[in-house]
């Protein structure tokens, strides 16, 4: 199929990102990233990368077999890492709602049939708040965190039996536009995933969409691929025009080996909740995977939508 030069550039960047991710998968199936006190992440980052890659198969049949094989190995490895209550950052840590949500989303994309509510219900309170951890001795880590809630809500959309819990989360996140985050130093992370969940679960309320578009438009330029990718996700969820400018930024930020990592991940103090120094994404796996996923979604979106974005940029 004929493609315009700009789209061919996007597809070349996607191809480079996919190749980079496949090269960095460890032999046991995990994609490992970060260097925190418990070690490198295993289940969390593998599920993130795997979920992104399952969405990057469209329109790339030549790489399809390699991607499917990599995701199948990763899914089997992550499934075996399950602990009572779900999945944790790695195999030495207890389960948490965010990792468990990412794993459930990834495993669904690779054919596993799991009931999300069976894993996530214990983390969700009556008001729709999603608590990252269940253990009371974890202090502020056990509080409800909306930058985790959207991811859990997306996982809950997978089966009819989990939809009532997803609706509970939606009512909380749909109360109004919020830029609060706990685990990330960039508010764009929380905004982007909340808008994506609201869009997927019935639509973004008009007032939240308007505030979201205004907030994104007010942000200063960024040289972080992670930040730009989340702005692109947020803009797409609200139907904002001009996303092609964000695509262009991602192309400009693309390097030979994928996209450079970010320094946004926080591990706040358990007792006070005060933000720590942000942790470096050492190999750029999360950023590269997200860029691959979002650019693929842009490429396969209706041509009319891409044209509208281009004409408005």
Q: List the pLDDT tens digit at each of the 313 positions of the chain.
A: 446 889 899 999 999 999 999 999 999 999 999 999 999 999 999 999 999 999 887 555 567 889 999 999 999 999 999 999 999 999 999 999 999 999 999 999 999 999 999 999 999 999 999 999 999 999 999 999 999 999 999 999 999 999 999 999 999 999 999 999 999 999 999 999 999 999 999 999 999 999 999 999 999 999 999 999 999 999 999 988 668 999 999 999 999 889 999 999 999 999 999 988 999 999 999 999 999 999 999 998 765 455 433 322 2
Closest to 166 (Cα-Cα) out of 185, 153, 179, 155: 153
- Is residue 155 within 8 Å of residue 118, measured between CB atoms? no
| Rounded CA separation 244/246 (Å) | 5
- The tokens describing 166, both together, are 């997803």
> In whole angstroms, what separates CA 134 from the centre of its chain?
22
Length of the chain in terms of residues written: 313
- CB atoms inside a 10 Å sphere around CB 139: 15
| Rounded CA separation 215/311 (Å) | 22
Which residue's structure tokens are 């199948």?
72
C-alpha dihedral over 74, 80, 85, 86, to 10 degrees? 0
Burial of 258 (0-12, 13-18, 19+ CB in 10 A): buried
> In whole angstroms, what separates CA 111 from the centre of its chain?
19
Beta strand segments in the chain, E: 33-36, 39-41
The three-class DSSP label of residue 177 is coil
């Amino acid at each position: 199929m004929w493609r315009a030069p700009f789209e061919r550039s996007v597809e070349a960047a996607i191809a480079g990102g996919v190749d980079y991710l496949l090269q960095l998968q460890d032999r046991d199936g995990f994609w490992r990233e970060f260097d925190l006190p418990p070690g490198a992440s295993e289940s969390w980052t593998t599920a993130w990368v795997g979920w992104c890659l399952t969405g990057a198969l469209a329109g790339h049949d030549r790489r399809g077999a390699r991607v499917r094989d990599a995701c199948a190995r990763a899914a089997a490895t992550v499934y075996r890492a399950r602990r009572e209550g779900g999945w944790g950052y790695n195999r030495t840590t207890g389960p948490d709602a965010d990792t468990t949500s990412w794993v459930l989303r990834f495993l669904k994309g690779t054919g596993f049939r799991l009931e999300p509510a069976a894993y996530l219900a214990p983390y969700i309170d009556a008001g729709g708040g999603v608590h990252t951890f269940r253990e009371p001795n974890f202090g502020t880590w056990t509080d409800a965190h909306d930058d985790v809630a959207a991811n859990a809500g997306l996982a809950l959309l997978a089966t009819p039996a989990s939809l009532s819990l997803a609706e509970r989360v939606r009512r909380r996140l749909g109360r109004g536009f919020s830029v609060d985050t706990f685990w990330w130093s960039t508010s764009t992370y929380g905004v982007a995933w909340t808008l994506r969940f609201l869009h997927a679960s019935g639509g973004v309320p008009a007032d939240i969409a308007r505030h979201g578009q205004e907030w994104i438009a007010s942000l200063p330029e960024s040289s972080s691929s992670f930040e730009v990718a989340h702005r692109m996700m947020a803009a797409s969820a609200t139907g904002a025009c001009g996303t092609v400018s964000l695509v262009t930024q991602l192309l400009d930020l693309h390097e030979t080996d994928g996209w450079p990592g970010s320094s946004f991940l926080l591990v706040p103090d358990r007792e006070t909740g005060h933000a720590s120094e942000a942790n470096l994404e050492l190999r750029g796996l999360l950023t590269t995977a997200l860029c691959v996923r979002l650019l693929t979604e842009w490429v396969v979106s209706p041509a009319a939508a891409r044209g509208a974005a281009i004409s408005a940029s």
